Amino acid sequence: MACSPRRRTGTGLQHPGLLLLAQAEPCISRQQLHAQPLLKLISMLQIGVPGPWQQWRSSRQRKSKHYRQSSSSSRGGGVLAEEVSLGRLRRYRVDAEDRNLLVIEDSQVRKRDKMGRFLGRILLPQGYPHTVAPNYLQYTRMRGLQYFFGGAIGVFSTRSLLSALGVTGRSKGSGGEAAAAINWVLKDGAGRLGKFLFGRWGQQLDCELKQFRLAGSGLMEVGAAMELSTIALPHAFLPLSCIANLAKNLAGVAASSTRAPIHRTLALQNNLADVTAKSESVANLADIAGTFLGIALCRMNAPLVPTFCILSAGYLYASRQEINAVVFSYLNRARLAYSAGVFLRTGTVPGVLECNKREPLLPWSQARISLGCSVEEAFAGPQELAAAQISLRKNGFAVWYRPEQSRVLVILRQGVDQQQILQGAFSAHVFLHMLKETDQPGMNDGQRSSSAPTQQPQSGLAHLMGRNRRAVNAEAQMQRQRAALKEVTAAGDPTSMVQLAYAAAEDLYPKFLRQAEQQGWQLEATMLNTKDVRLCMA
């Protein structure tokens, strides 16, 4: 009896939530399935080859000719490395024929499991249930039920309000009130959808709090501008109002989610609730005063567009100054970029206040460094992967450079801790700084804030490396490193370039840590917002 290939799934226990997908099963009849013992059946399930659907799907996911899905276990040597991410497992080995990397297993979770994982990342805190109190689930369920009934009641109340104001016809059966209420509720529903989807970035909010706060202020003004545009385009009221409400609700979630961490930095005597209450009182009083100003401007028939532009400029200016007033004593990606840049130029780690005022907040300011990259994203072949494994085993991370992208990539090993991630990120900044010192075209580090100091000592990194040796010898050593870096950069040899950066970073990192602690940085609370990909050493 002919049968189609089947696939089985299992759970991986070495990574939280990881689902492993086995190879295709051989075709067996239902009678044979029931007749064979369970252990014999499991051994049979591990013999098959990938089916055509799995081969087609894997071919759709390939990004480089160097990474090919292996259809047989006979080619190549043993497993070179394993890579794990959320919902994905990849195993790599070297092809015995052309010495390229083979993807011998590219396991994906089932669609149902993917949806559950997606909803879990939106609805549950990171590390659930170990990071929350035991009553968190019950509280969340009842809160959701409360909002469910509240949403249903809101439809009827909105219909009654619109009818009372004469927005729709009052004739019985006309359906005008219902249509207007549905349009209004759809507008509000789009905003609630934005709140729901925003939960996906919950962990990033803790790491890039100021950036999200500033982005929320920009979204708020975009939403207000689209609401004003409905006057000129009344026929497009529903789509414009939906998009506007979506933007404003995203901004509201960004503001409410970042409010508690900000207030925590302001409460010094276990008075977080008092600080929060007083902050809300000030905000409400200012909102009432602003409402009276808006009413007065409307009664004066002030021109719409110029008035809106002036008020928006004041809003954005106040938002930027509000962010500048917040001081965090832990390093994130932006503050590490500024601190490392100043340290490598001047030999001194900036203080907490200076760094918080000058840290780069634009999203593309950190584009040159990527933390937590995949094997396929970082390496072009097995030689590069083998060279990076030395640092992975020793330090828990590996730094690599892609000249064609002008990006520095940091690969992280499974089980790496925050201090190792910090060292890897610092090594990447050292590498970018060394590239800048070679004066290669397009090699500026891109990590410095526009308001950062531009003075650079003549000695550069040699001044820092000479703290424990004679400055003349350090200068000579740095000159040799610069010359070597220029040579290997021109030759396009990433391995030699990275080795030079490792040598400099290994000498500078203890000095950076020592000065950072003296300046009051809480290094144990560092949050660098890495990707989820981790490399398991074979």
Name the more confident of 331 and 201.
331
- End-to-end CA gap in the chain: 41
> Residue 71: what pLDDT?
44
Task: State pLDDT tens for residues 56-73.
Answer: 344 444 444 444 444 444
DSSP assignment of 455-517: ---SSTHHHHHGGGS-HHHHHHHHHHHHHHHHHHHHHT-HHHHHHHHHHHHHHHHHHHHHHHH
Instruction: Give dist(CA 44, CA 40) in Å, integer.
Output: 6
Distances in Å between the Cα of 45 and the Cα atoms of 9, 31, 220 are: 11, 16, 55
Does the pLDDT value for residue 52 go beyond 50? no
The rounded percent of the chain whose pLDDT value lies above 70 is 53
Does the pLDDT value for residue 436 go beyond 60? yes
Cβ–Cβ under 8 Å, residues 485 and 435: yes
With bands split at pLDDT 50, 70 and 90, how would you rate the model's confidence at 9? very low
Cβ–Cβ under 8 Å, residues 197 and 122: yes
Does the pLDDT value for residue 438 go beyond 80? no
E strand or H helix at 50, and its extent?
Answer: none
Most confidently modeled range among 87-91, 260-264, 270-274, 483-487: 260-264
Contacts of 315 (CB under 8 A, 6+ apart): 217, 220, 221
Quickly list H helices, 104-175: 111-123, 136-164
On average, the pLDDT of the chain sits at 69
* Mean pLDDT across 346-366: 86
With bands split at pLDDT 50, 70 and 90, how would you rate the model's confidence at 335? very high
Structure tokens at 367: 């584009």
> Residue 482: what pLDDT?
60
Cβ–Cβ under 8 Å, residues 462 and 475: yes
* Mean pLDDT across 65-94: 58
274: phi > 0 → left, psi -120 to 50 → alpha, else beta; which? alpha
Which residue in 454, 443, 447 sits closest to 425, CA to CA?
Answer: 447
Task: State pLDDT tens for residues 399-429.
Answer: 988 877 788 999 998 888 889 999 999 999 9
> Residue 66: what pLDDT?
44
Strands 534-537 and 88-94, by their bridges, are: unpaired
> Residue 342: what pLDDT?
93
Does the pLDDT value for residue 512 go beyond 90? yes
> Residue 48: what pLDDT?
39
* Mean pLDDT across 111-135: 65
Instruction: Give dist(CA 400, CA 380) in Å, integer.
Output: 11
Q: Is the peptide bond before 50 cis (omega within 30 degrees of 0)?
A: no
Distances in Å between the Cα of 207 and the Cα atoms of 414, 449, 529 are: 21, 18, 6
* Mean pLDDT across 433-451: 53
Cβ–Cβ under 8 Å, residues 229 and 285: no
Distances in Å between the Cα of 323 and the Cα atoms of 261, 317, 350, 537 are: 12, 10, 19, 42
- Three-state DSSP state, 28: coil
Instruction: Give dist(CA 491, CA 262) in Å, integer.
Output: 48
> Residue 28: what pLDDT?
41
Cβ–Cβ under 8 Å, residues 424 and 371: yes
